[in-house]
Amino acid sequence: MSNPKPIRTSTASQSHVGQVRAANQDVCGEFSDDLGRRLLVVADGMGGHAGGEIASQLALETIGEIFGVGFDDPIEMLRKALKGANAKIHQAGNAAPELHNMGTTAVALLLGVGETVSVAHVGDSRAYRMRSGRLEQITEDHSWVREEVRQNRLAAEDAESHPMKNVLLRSLGVAPEVNVSVIREPLRPGDRFMLCSDGLWGEVGPAEISEIMARSDAPTAVHDLIDLANRNGGSDNVTVAVAIVQDQESDSTREIEQSATAPNTESATLPMPPTAGGEGYSASESVNARTRWPSWVG
């Protein structure tokens, strides 16, 4: 490769069912290629029966496959990957009545293409960046409440408790086509990134995310964020992926990188506090369940 000094990154990811739900419809995954490019993905499925689980898994697989084919343009690849996932889920949903209208969010972060980071997303799974100790959400939710806030029709502080907070304007699989939001930005040494489903950001506030992201290596940050979401209620499935770009000032992430980047396209199981719901608890789909915006809105 032309890059004389490859940027070292340590990554980790994990998904947890939470404290209330009976099933985990979230997934996460990490993919890398022989050019040292690395892709992190979080997806949060929705749909009755097994639809949500199938949709998010199909998204993860399809995005990983399209990344694995190889590419020159990261933006084009990410857009193609999420659009490919959309088509595959939509087809699968049409082929089986019980899976009709299944869908999923997806957020994907790509590192290792020069000194840049690229992020693509659909839905309200988020990407955050911590730079120089400051946390910033770098994706904008494709949600009804976010759009209301943007149009100055709803106060930002009211969005999180709004009864329509789970209504998405975009998701993968629900329609034959989807618009994918993609950004590409310069990377700086020491940048830290976090992808998560709403089960994390709905339970853990920005100050708490900041505090954990600032002090932890990637596996510890993933563990501690999920642990805190569960201690704060764990009302939804919770999924987190973290990537830490090595600070040029020190070589301290090197050791972490070696321990954290073992083959890990499937998330490992970390020790978690005992779940409060569990056996016999029937999670109602209507409780805090993700809903889709009616198709007539477009």
Burial class (CB in 10 A: 0-12, 13-18, 19+), 153: exposed
Task: Calculate the dihedral angle through the C-alpha atoms of 31, 28, 106, 47, rounding to the nearest 10 degrees.
Answer: 140
**Which C-beta is closer to Ca ion: that of 198 or that of 217?**
198
Residues that bind Ca ion (CB under 5 A): 44, 197-199, 236
**Which C-beta is closer to Ca ion: that of 46 or that of 256?**
46
**Which C-beta is closer to Ca ion: that of 81 or that of 196?**
196
User: Closest approach of Cβ 3 to Ca ion, in Å?
Assistant: 37
- Cβ-contact 144, 268 below 8 angstroms: no
| CA Rg value for the chain | 18
**Which C-beta is closer to Ca ion: that of 53 or that of 198?**
198
**Which C-beta is closer to Ca ion: that of 37 or that of 170?**
170
Handedness of CA 258, 198, 92, 181 (dihedral sign): negative
- Cβ-contact 172, 123 below 8 angstroms: yes
User: Closest approach of Cβ 141 to Ca ion, in Å?
Assistant: 12
User: Closest approach of Cβ 288 to Ca ion, in Å?
Assistant: 8
User: Closest approach of Cβ 166 to Ca ion, in Å?
Assistant: 8
User: Closest approach of Cβ 199 to Ca ion, in Å?
Assistant: 5
**Which C-beta is closer to Ca ion: that of 47 or that of 199?**
199
User: Closest approach of Cβ 44 to Ca ion, in Å?
Assistant: 4
Q: Which residues pair with 97 in a beta bridge?
A: none
User: Closest approach of Cβ 277 to Ca ion, in Å?
Assistant: 15
d(CA 175, CA 182): 19
d(CA 244, CA 196): 15
**Which C-beta is closer to Ca ion: that of 187 or that of 229?**
229
